[in-house]
Chains A and B, each alone.
Chain A
């Protein structure tokens, strides 16, 4: 049984600089990590693998050559095989072209996949679009915002606890399927140092544009329907009430009055 986990390399800090000319993020000098939601997706895959011996996990990432770091990190955490989709022709891809490229790579390199797990979103772009788009392109049933992912006893369905606004729903989908993962109750794994050393000896398969059946005009910036025009931090909310030079009891009365006025208390 094969599980594919899509993983993305993201900057470690949220306060990244933006290139004023292209409107894209400047990655130089910023350390990169495995996107936390991708790590949760991988964690679900590893849990399934812990339960069923014949499961193998293939991690797939699209990015510049240094994105191999997140594949190495995924090996440390329990992935078996890694695929790096890298080519200058992929540069500047928006969510659609990224999804198209990832989907085509999965179809080409792991045609016999049973389950695709992805993070619900990346902490840099925050779009939450790539997972659902891959599912559409591959024609798979999809379940989003999973906090728990297991297989049914027949192993023909995936059973997912999904986060919804007022709680959780447990739903199933017939395999092959795609699941996007949220955080849930996951306490992040800690690989052994042996895992860390061994991860660096595993081969990574490289996939370039010529390996995929996608016309060049549908790749990268050229194939993108959307473009990042501007990236900026959300404006800080300025409204605040500051009480100064008051006795504690008077301050408490003021705060209580404010809360009552705003209907936080009766």
Chain B
């Protein structure tokens, strides 16, 4: 079915919605809303709204519509491309929509699912699942919800939500509209693979309930959305092919695609997701291993060997370059307790970090295939760190996240001298077989320009984040030029300019490397169909110069 009807939510009293008016007041009392993790700064805007229910959200959106005020929507503000940083009009923070609604067994698919509001953080979701305790459901006045929750508690197995975009303070809804991926995407795919349903408010203030599998595009590639007043909008899905890598650049499209997939990864420019149904997976015990190697090249070789060895199933496969390890070493000397790990071995010049299933109670562990692969690449299991208790897995995870956090703090320090300096972090993925070529390009160009840089990230998906740390404005300029060189090459190899961070405001200029003007116009017409006044997140994805 390609036709869907939007509904109206019982509208709340607009005057009762919590808000701050006036940019000066917002600056004075709520400066956190002036930026996100990208560190992009907001331009003056006039209203900051905090709806506490869908009814309040509908009231706010309808009021903004009547006033023709453009509005930006924020979740946990952990995005890296400035998507939720307003440039005008109003900002709607969804932070109060933070309740788990239900946990239920879906018989046809044989899986447990959780329905939750958009601003439940991934961290809270994870904690609730770890202890299988969701107090709100236990105390629910709805007998069915209490019963489903009791059934879930009685299931002897543990369950988890597989997407793991490292930044666990991210909101669930934010992770959906950005189709967040991360380390575990290597095994479990991106967020898209785990979304079973959503409620999304359209820019006109009405909402759609979209279960996966119900609404698919017509053979001609169209959806029709009818509103409560009898109006109809036709969405024609773009016809460009998806890159053969993970990608968050541009709208998802596929022949006879599911409507839900149009909203997943759309960066919030098509609608406001207020609740999501996600699938859970049975938990298995894991071991995390950080394997130290003698050189970056050796580590790239090992990653390739692990990826192509069919008998080894890893959950994730990550990379630290030698200069990334050096950053951590420096931090270890200055703040050993912050790092929380023993000193990184002096002779380690790169590392590969992976996780796999592991039964700690099994006496005869056979990891001879793994050992042979590592030895074959010049490494040794004796030069590794391993952890399997959940506190150990957490400790390793914190360590993994420490490289980008250290880079952010170095850049913040440099900003004091050069306010225009910012981090240059690549987010490009290339198809299988091209990682080494891309790595050689990254390394040789950064070294040739004598830039300070390091690399880390999802080598299993051929997706390494190269981070350039400019020491002055001249290096910033050189770095930005280099970034374009990298982006062009990644696209030439069939990859994506934005594998996971999205386009937002900061990376809009790179869209032209991946898409022709006609293809960008196809995306634009999808946006126009749902948001003809261009009020919702108006400055994201579509840069002014392309649309002008």
Is the beta-carbon distance between B336 and A190 smaller than 8 angstroms? Answer: no
Partner of B389, one of A12, A189, A197, A248: A12
Q: How far is the CA of A54 from the CA of B336 in the complex (A)?
A: 30
Q: How far is the CA of A33 from the CA of B391 in the complex (A)?
A: 9
Q: How far is the CA of A191 from the CA of B392 in the complex (A)?
A: 11
Partner of A69, one of B361, B364, B380: B361
Partner of A190, one of B29, B291, B380, B387: B387
Interface residues in B281-311 by Cβ distance below 8 A to A read 287, 289-291
Interface residues in A186-221 by Cβ distance below 8 A to B read 187-197, 200-201
Contacts of B339 in A (CB 8 A): 187
Is the beta-carbon distance between A187 and B381 smaller than 8 angstroms? Answer: no
Is the beta-carbon distance between B342 and A190 smaller than 8 angstroms? Answer: yes
Contacts of B387 in A (CB 8 A): 190
Is the beta-carbon distance between A193 and B289 smaller than 8 angstroms? Answer: yes
> Would you call A15 an interface residue if the criterion is a C-beta within 8 Å of the partner chain's C-beta atoms?
yes
> Would you call A13 an interface residue if the criterion is a C-beta within 8 Å of the partner chain's C-beta atoms?
yes
Most chain B CB atoms below 10 A, which of A13, A15, A72, A200 = A200
> Would you call A31 an interface residue if the criterion is a C-beta within 8 Å of the partner chain's C-beta atoms?
yes
> Would you call B41 an interface residue if the criterion is a C-beta within 8 Å of the partner chain's C-beta atoms?
no
Interface residues in B122-144 by Cβ distance below 8 A to A read 131
Distance in Å from the Cβ of A59 to the closest Cβ of chain B?
17
Q: How far is the CA of A194 from the CA of B381 in the complex (A)?
A: 5
Q: How far is the CA of A180 from the CA of B289 in the complex (A)?
A: 32
Partner of B384, one of A189, A192, A248: A192
Contacts of A33 in B (CB 8 A): 389, 391
Distance in Å from the Cβ of B180 to the closest Cβ of chain A?
28
Distance in Å from the Cβ of A185 to the closest Cβ of chain B?
8
Contacts of A15 in B (CB 8 A): 131
Q: How far is the CA of A72 from the CA of B361 in the complex (A)?
A: 9
Is the beta-carbon distance between A31 and B390 smaller than 8 angstroms? Answer: yes
With an 8 Å Cβ cutoff, the count of chain B residues facing the other chain is 34
Is the beta-carbon distance between B386 and A192 smaller than 8 angstroms? Answer: yes
> Would you call B362 an interface residue if the criterion is a C-beta within 8 Å of the partner chain's C-beta atoms?
yes
Q: How far is the CA of A261 from the CA of B378 in the complex (A)?
A: 67
With an 8 Å Cβ cutoff, the count of chain A residues facing the other chain is 22
Interface residues in B164-182 by Cβ distance below 8 A to A read none
Partner of A187, one of B28, B336, B391: B336
Is the beta-carbon distance between A187 and B384 smaller than 8 angstroms? Answer: no
Partner of A193, one of B28, B367, B392: B367
Number of cross-chain contacts by CB at 8 Å: 66
Is the beta-carbon distance between A193 and B131 smaller than 8 angstroms? Answer: no
Q: A33-B389, A33-B391 are in contact. Are A200 and B365 (CB under 8 A)?
A: yes
> Would you call B337 an interface residue if the criterion is a C-beta within 8 Å of the partner chain's C-beta atoms?
yes
Distance in Å from the Cβ of B396 to the closest Cβ of chain A?
8
Contacts of A194 in B (CB 8 A): 380-382, 384
Partner of B386, one of A13, A31, A195: A195
Flag A1-21 by CB within 8 Å of B: 1 or 0 each.
Answer: 000000000001101000000
Partner of B385, one of A13, A69, A191, A197: A191
Is the beta-carbon distance between A200 and B362 smaller than 8 angstroms? Answer: yes
Is the beta-carbon distance between A197 and B367 smaller than 8 angstroms? Answer: yes
Is the beta-carbon distance between B388 and A31 smaller than 8 angstroms? Answer: no
> Would you call B340 an interface residue if the criterion is a C-beta within 8 Å of the partner chain's C-beta atoms?
yes
Is the beta-carbon distance between A187 and B389 smaller than 8 angstroms? Answer: no
Distance in Å from the Cβ of A123 to the closest Cβ of chain B?
12
Is the beta-carbon distance between B342 and A189 smaller than 8 angstroms? Answer: yes
Is the beta-carbon distance between B363 and A201 smaller than 8 angstroms? Answer: yes
Contacts of A31 in B (CB 8 A): 389-390
Is the beta-carbon distance between B342 and A200 smaller than 8 angstroms? Answer: no
Contacts of B367 in A (CB 8 A): 193, 197
Q: How far is the CA of A191 from the CA of B131 in the complex (A)?
A: 27
Q: How far is the CA of A103 from the CA of B484 in the complex (A)?
A: 69
Is the beta-carbon distance between A187 and B340 smaller than 8 angstroms? Answer: yes
> Would you call B383 an interface residue if the criterion is a C-beta within 8 Å of the partner chain's C-beta atoms?
yes
Residue of A nearest to B380 (CB): A194
Q: A31-B390, A187-B341 are in contact. Are A192 and B365 (CB under 8 A)?
A: no
Is the beta-carbon distance between B390 and A12 smaller than 8 angstroms? Answer: yes
Is the beta-carbon distance between B29 and A193 smaller than 8 angstroms? Answer: no
Distance in Å from the Cβ of A109 to the closest Cβ of chain B?
22
Distance in Å from the Cβ of B379 to the closest Cβ of chain A?
11
Contacts of B361 in A (CB 8 A): 69
Interface residues in A73-102 by Cβ distance below 8 A to B read 73
Distance in Å from the Cβ of B288 to the closest Cβ of chain A?
10
Q: A197-B365, A197-B367, A200-B365 are in contact. Are A192 and B385 (CB under 8 A)?
A: yes
Interface residues in B229-273 by Cβ distance below 8 A to A read none
Contacts of B383 in A (CB 8 A): 192
Flag B191-235 by CB within 8 Å of A: 1 or 0 each.
Answer: 000000000000000000000000000000000000000000000
Distance in Å from the Cβ of B25 to the closest Cβ of chain A?
11
> Would you call B360 an interface residue if the criterion is a C-beta within 8 Å of the partner chain's C-beta atoms?
yes
Is the beta-carbon distance between B386 and A190 smaller than 8 angstroms? Answer: yes
Contacts of B386 in A (CB 8 A): 190-193, 195-196
Q: How far is the CA of A166 from the CA of B389 in the complex (A)?
A: 35
Contacts of A248 in B (CB 8 A): 28-29
Interface residues in A164-198 by Cβ distance below 8 A to B read 187-197
Is the beta-carbon distance between B287 and A196 smaller than 8 angstroms? Answer: yes
Is the beta-carbon distance between A193 and B336 smaller than 8 angstroms? Answer: no
Q: How far is the CA of A159 from the CA of B360 in the complex (A)?
A: 36
Contacts of A190 in B (CB 8 A): 290, 341-342, 385-387, 392
Q: Which 8 A-B pairs rank lowest in CB-CB distance, beginning with the nearest?
A: A190-B385, A193-B386, A194-B381, A194-B382, A192-B384, A193-B384, A196-B386, A193-B381
Q: Which residues of A contact B (CB under 8 A)?
A: 12-13, 15, 31, 33, 69, 72-73, 187-197, 200-201, 248
Known contacts A33-B391, A187-B337, A188-B342, then 16 further A-B pairs from the complex at CB < 8 Å, ordered by chain A residue: A12-B391, A189-B342, A190-B387, A192-B381, A192-B386, A193-B291, A193-B367, A193-B384, A193-B386, A194-B380, A194-B381, A195-B386, A196-B365, A200-B363, A200-B365, A248-B29
28 of the cross-chain contacts (CB-CB < 8 Å) are A13-B131, A31-B389, A33-B391, A69-B361, A187-B336, A187-B337, A187-B339, A187-B340, A187-B341, A188-B342, A190-B290, A190-B342, A191-B386, A192-B381, A192-B385, A193-B287, A193-B291, A193-B381, A193-B384, A193-B385, A194-B381, A195-B382, A195-B386, A196-B388, A197-B365, A197-B367, A200-B363, A200-B364
